[in-house]
Amino acid sequence: MQSELDRQMALLNPEQLAAVTHEGSPLLILAGAGSGKTRVITTKIAWLIGERGVDPRSILAVTFTKKAATEMASRAVALESAAQWCRIHTFHSFGARFLRRYAGEAGVDQNFTVYDDDDAVTILAKVAPNLSRQQAARFAHRISLAKDYCLDPEDVALPPLEAKKGYETRDRFLGKTTYPAACDGAVDSGGEFSSLYAAYQGRLRETGNVDFGDLIRLPVKLLEENQGVRRETQSRYRIILVDEYQDSNVAQFRLLRALTGSGTYLCVVGDDDQSIYHFRGAEVDNILGFQGQFPGTTMIRLERNYRSVSPVLSVADSIVNKNTGRLGKTLRPERVGGKKPRLVFLPDQDDEAAFCGELVRQAYEKGVPYSHWAILYRMNAQSLGFETEFLRKQIPYHVVGALKFYEREEIKDALSVLAFLVNPKDEIAFARIVNKPSRGIGAVTVERIIERAREGSSSFLAECGTAAQAGNKKTAGGLRKFSGIMEELFAELHRGVGKDGDPRLSDLIALTTERTGLLDLHIQRDEITGTSRGANLQELANSALPYPRTVEGLLKFLDTIQLDRALDTGEEADNAVTLITLHNTKGLEFSRVVITGLESGVFPRADKAGDELEEERRLFYVGITRAKDELYITSCAERRLYGRTQMMIPSPFLYEIDRELFTALGEVPPIFARHKSLADAMAENQWD
């Protein structure tokens, strides 16, 4: 009787079979999008146990998310029950198990707990009480980043050529952070940052606990410095498998290198063309340089794509081939036929949203479920136009990786200020904004102001003045600051036009987020968490461009938002369009995909060049390869950006695609039709 493993082996193509049955030398499986890499790695685990008699306890498999590790384990066990004894972990869960086993040698308490980001900020606030909470949070982020680069406090203080761990790694870390700008001048050199980092680490050790960065850094340090622990660990794990290797950072690479002994069989699976997380510390050089780091490596390319139709893959290859930093492969479709991708030129972002809504609606009327569609964009803030359009057309949708636009904290904050401007008696708005950002006004003081205003029928701002006279110095200063800001904004609103004569409401909203400190607050959080709250606030201002800078204009703007929100039932439908950033699409697939915003400065971002531009190109490639059946790419002639309507240039990526590979719709910009490269187009118009 044929086993499940035998049936699975029979389904493998020649390249997959070669990867599964490979033994001996290190193996790099270069797995293209949709090439069945998860099937390969789980089948390999089962084959090693069931066919080669490998002790499952000697197999270590690591990946990056708990979901991926759970799926890997369940699929391997389905093929070979003994696979339940394999060590299948995320990098961090492996690090935690390792540290508990060698707690004494690593200098941590065996019963340690793992401190999260908030805990790290609290520790920093204790060792450096002169720092504000926001400054402490930014330093905590930089310490975490240093640990991702496997750098100790003394490493970041040394001049590049003296850094004991290699100046290239140290310089890559420093390239991500400039101390004065990033830390508000609280620490103005690498040496002072090093002292703060050392103080933080000392307090962490006193508690016996670790943070997330330590879960990788401390095992690396112990394995590299303790020969006995290294030998014992290398003898325990004879086979090491790594999934999504292109997403590994410097510390994870060094952990892998320390775990690999002369008798270890090492196999990594990844795709250099899908390395899109450099902002999180991922280093594409780990996979590009794998053969150099592990001599004798065999590389097997998985190029057969089972997901997308041929025309989609042709566009994907056309774009990614422009990158120079890649190992090289060409996806070969297993699915024949299919429509050419559509490149759609539209007047502006409102037309872009309307086009997507109509595309989805017409397909639904022909029997295509909403869930077959995904709308992709570069930044979360771009979801607003699609959310608004879909609500009005009553098209169900869900936003992946973020709250719906008007439910985001930063948007609620800004809308509360605007609501207070038109109605100074709005208690809910007042309570939300009076101490945000923190102005030293306590909750008891806020409640007292609200109660007195209600009892005496006076305004909240008047009661702020009364409370300031009776409060301590810090509270009084905070209340006066808040009152001053609101009085200034009241005057700006009733002025009708800006000081430059500009009548647009969008400028008032931008001024509001700046004067209140909300923009700085959320931009600082962006830097710490990698979110885009500042961009969302800018998009809120952009959305107000059609409204006049008057009380009536502001009321109409707020009414429109409330009416749009009222159309939302709050229910997540199973059959819904997916709105998602390109970064969040990794690992997903959809029947029909629309990639939006293909304009220079939007995608790719204006500040991208060199290696960063290559990563943007890989991000485009990832988005394209999410599409199974149909692909649409949109580009707008105008877009509301930074509070202004701007003329846009088609993305340089569009010039790079062979134009025979797509069908152009809409009014093709003459300059795009005339030129084969963005450089030529810019030269003609003498653009900067």
Catalytic residue numbers read 37-38, 243-244, 274, 626
376: helix, strand or coil: strand
362 class by beta-carbon count within 10 Å (0-12 exposed, 13-18 middle, 19+ buried): exposed
Q: Which residues contact 571 (CB under 8 A, 6 or more apart)?
A: none
Q: How far is CA 279 from CA 105, 274, 284, 529, in A?
A: 33, 14, 12, 11
Find how far residue 178's CA is from the centre of its chain: 21
Instruction: Determine the Cα angle at 362 with ends 357 and 365, to 5°.
Output: 125
Q: How many CB atoms lie within 10 A of CB 43?
A: 25
Using only the alpha carbons of the chain, give its radius of gyration: 28
Cis check: omega of the bond before 437, within 30 degrees of 0: yes
Find how far residue 519's CA is from the centre of its chain: 20
**Type and span of the H or E element at 446:** helix 443-456
Q: What is the largest CA-CA distance in the chain?
A: 88
| Rounded distance between C-alpha atoms, residue 274 and residue 302, angstroms | 14
Instruction: Determine the Cα angle at 527 with ends 522 and 530, to 5°.
Output: 95
Residue 547 · residue 515 · CB < 8 Å: no
| Rounded distance between C-alpha atoms, residue 482 and residue 459, angstroms | 14
Residue 238 · residue 58 · CB < 8 Å: yes
240: helix, strand or coil: strand
Helices (H) and strands (E) counted in the chain, each on its own, are: 33, 19
Q: What share of the chain is helix, strand, coil (3-state, %, to 5)?
A: 55, 15, 30
Q: Which tokens in the block code for residue 305?
A: 């794509």
| Rounded distance between C-alpha atoms, residue 326 and residue 322, angstroms | 10
| Rounded distance between C-alpha atoms, residue 242 and residue 245, angstroms | 6
> Using CA of residue 393, residue 396, residue 400, residue 406, what is the dihedral sign?
positive
Q: Which segments within 191-238 are labelled E, that is strand?
A: 210-211
Beta-bridge partners for 335: 309
Q: Which tokens in the block code for residue 493?
A: 């609103």
Q: What residue has token string 């270590």? A: 60
Q: Dihedrals φ, ψ of 298, to 5°?
A: -95, 135
Q: Which residues contact 191 (CB under 8 A, 6 or more apart)?
A: 157
Q: Which tokens in the block code for residue 687?
A: 């653009």
Find how far residue 102's CA is from the centre of its chain: 34
